[in-house]
Amino acid sequence: MAESHKDKVIIVGCGPGLKSYISPKALYNIKKARILVGSRRLLKLFPGVDAEKVVLEKNYGVLVQKIAEWSRSKQVVVLVSGDPCFFSYTRMIVRKMGRERCTIIPGISSMQLAFAAAGESWDDACFISLHGRNDKYEQLVKKVREYNKVGILTDHKNTPAVIARHLIKQGIQKRQMFICKNLSLPEESIHETDLASATNMNTSGSAVVIIKNTNHEIR
């Protein structure tokens, strides 16, 4: 099962948080790292990996350039939360290095886990990220009007309460809301509510929100 990654970066999806959600294939590839890049939280998951550890902070641009250079001579492995192809800086690495120099190992996305926790299929859903994006509310309203289910990545500013208030202000009323916090972690919570009740909800930590139109007929 030896795989050649000469000149290639390996981008590994580390799932939503709990280590047992990381696939054996991902773990196998992480062990090959000579340079391991990731957030502090992700790097802490692999204390036994004998590699130089590089912490990813807000230095994406510079780091992507360095990853491209380092990977010419050393095996670089980049750790990404959830799935690499779902709202992550993987696209910056692929754009910089080219698809042929990137090996991507999928991971379980926080979005997948949220839909599983809510007991909802996600094949008919639409997605948006408000993580670090305050300018996406117009798009959000459009998607919520158009789709039966919308999965939303949130952050400390664009919280479930802020989202609920915005949708109500835009005249959207009857929607079910699932607030899925800290998925897979000991402090996990799944809250099923409606927009009006969510407006005053205090949330902290990572959260995925699912907005569902309960009036929608099953076709």
Ligand X SMILES: C[S@@+](CC[C@H](N)C(=O)[O-])C[C@H]1O[C@@H](n2cnc3c(N)ncnc32)[C@H](O)[C@@H]1O
DSSP 13-65: E-BSS-GGGS-HHHHHHHTT-SEEEE-HHHHTT-TT--SEEEE-SS-HHHHHH
Give the chain's length. Answer: 219
Shortest gap between Cβ of 83 and ligand X (angstroms)?
A: 4
| Residue linked to tokens 């090996």 | 103
3-state secondary structure of 206: coil
17 binds ligand X (CB under 6 A): yes
CB of 188 to ligand X, least distance (A): 7
Q: How far is the CB of 13 from ligand X (least distance, A)?
A: 7
**Is the dihedral angle over the CA atoms 55, 58, 64, 66 positive or is it negative?**
negative
What count of other Cβ atoms lies within 10 Å of the Cβ of residue 105?
21
Tell me which residue has its CB nearest to ligand X.
82
Tokens of 48: 């036994």
Separation between Cα atoms, residue 153 and residue 60, nearest integer Å: 20
Dmax (CA) for the chain in angstroms is: 57
The nearer residue to ligand X, 34 or 184, going by C-beta atoms, is 184
Binding to ligand X (CB under 6 A): which residues in 148-207? 153-155, 180-185, 206-207
In the shown chain, the binding pattern of residues 23 to 52 toward ligand X, with x for contact by CB under 6 A and - for none, equals ------------------------------
Residue 26 contacts residue 105 (beta carbons within 8 Å): yes
Which residue in the set 9, 208, 210, 211 belongs to the binding site for ligand X (CB under 6 A)? Answer: 208
Instruction: Name which of 57 and 217 has its Cβ closer to ligand X.
Output: 57
Residue closer to ligand X, measured from CB, 41 or 72: 41
Three-class secondary structure of residue 166 per DSSP = helix
Q: Give residues 52-111 in contact with ligand X (rule: CB under 6 A).
A: 80-83, 86-88, 109-111
Q: Beta strands 9-13 and 176-181: pairing type?
A: unpaired
User: Could you tell me the smallest distance in angstroms from the CB atom of residue 135 to ligand X?
Assistant: 16
**Half-sphere exposure (Cβ direction) of 178: Cα atoms closer than 13 Å:** 22
Residue found under tokens 């492995």: 77
Give the nearest distance from C-beta 26 to ligand X in angstroms. Answer: 13
Q: Does 21 bind ligand X (CB under 6 A)?
A: no
Q: How many residues bind ligand X, per CB under 6 A?
A: 25
Q: Which residue lies nearer to ligand X by CB, 152 or 167?
A: 152
**Between 86 and 147, whose beta carbon lies closer to ligand X?**
86
Binding residues for ligand X, rule: CB under 6 A, are 16-17, 80-83, 86-88, 109-111, 131, 153-155, 180-185, 206-208
